[in-house]
Amino acid sequence: MLLHHCTWQEVESYLADRTAVIMPIGSTEQHGPNGLIGTDAITAEHIAHAVGDRTGALVAPTISVGMAQHHMAFTGSMTVRPSTLILIIREYVESLSRHGFDRFYFINGHGGNVTTVNAAFQEIYAAASLAGGDAKSVTCLLRNWYMAPGVDALSKELYGNKEGSHATPSEVAVTQYLFPDTIKQVPDFGPPSNSGPGFADAADYRQRFPDGRIQSWPQLATPDAGKRIFEAAVDGLVDDFKTFEK
């Protein structure tokens, strides 16, 4: 059940029985030689929609641009400042809270969002605490779909130490499963840069990881593997969301 496919009356009816909402969040950034720039938003959105379908929960519009300044040396990447993303999350939550939602389950597809999203939660809680008894109490929870129960073990089974940490075969495989027409046919681009994982700004990232990958072999991705990973993520998050909503 998608918020942006509902009328206001349907949302009002939903709120008569339930007050939890799923909030997909991702990023728009480079994903190596064969990964889609929208990978993190695409995966978070479709996994969130599937969790919503399985649980009957309402799913809010996806926050598709995240905190990705370190990818900005690669053409097509987009970012917002951490302070901007905090405001976006806070105002999304406050908007929906005004109508009666009080449990916000964020499904995230981008590791670079994690610190900022958690900071946004603290801003939301601080605002409510400072307002005293006049503020509606809300609960926010962040879940990274790629860390859902069963996903990590499956990724290790499929790719071992070739999974890496960015432009991974797992996330590329999920997009191939969801959108097979977008699969990029590219030559085998060999092993990734052996540079260490640390980086600072966009220029430093590009210097260390010139094709965008971090220790990953996304050429190993297949749609069949993507289907398995997608289903594992949904299975794990469905149970987790049900617990959260209680």
What is the total residue count of the chain?
246
pLDDT at site 186: 86
Q: What is the CATH number of the domain that holds 188?
A: 3.40.50.10310
Tens of pLDDT, residue by residue over 135-167, are 568 999 999 999 998 999 999 999 999 999 999
Closest C-alpha among 28, 68, 73, 27 to residue 210? 73
For residue 133, pLDDT over 70 is answered with no
Of the two residues 87 and 131, the one the predictor is more confident about is 87
Measured between alpha carbons, how far is 114 from 67 in angstroms, rounded to an integer?
A: 9
Tens of pLDDT, residue by residue over 57-72, are 999 999 999 999 999 9
* Proportion of the chain in helix, strand, coil states, percent, rounded to 5: 55, 10, 35
Number of compact structural domains in the chain: 1
Closest C-alpha among 184, 145, 173, 147 to residue 25? 145
For residue 51, pLDDT over 80 is answered with yes
Q: What's 70's DSSP letter? A: G
pTM of the model: 0.96
Which two three-digit tokens encode residue 105? 């389950």
Give the domain range for residue 36: 3-245
For the chain, give the mean pLDDT: 95
In one-letter notation, the amino acid at residue 173 is A
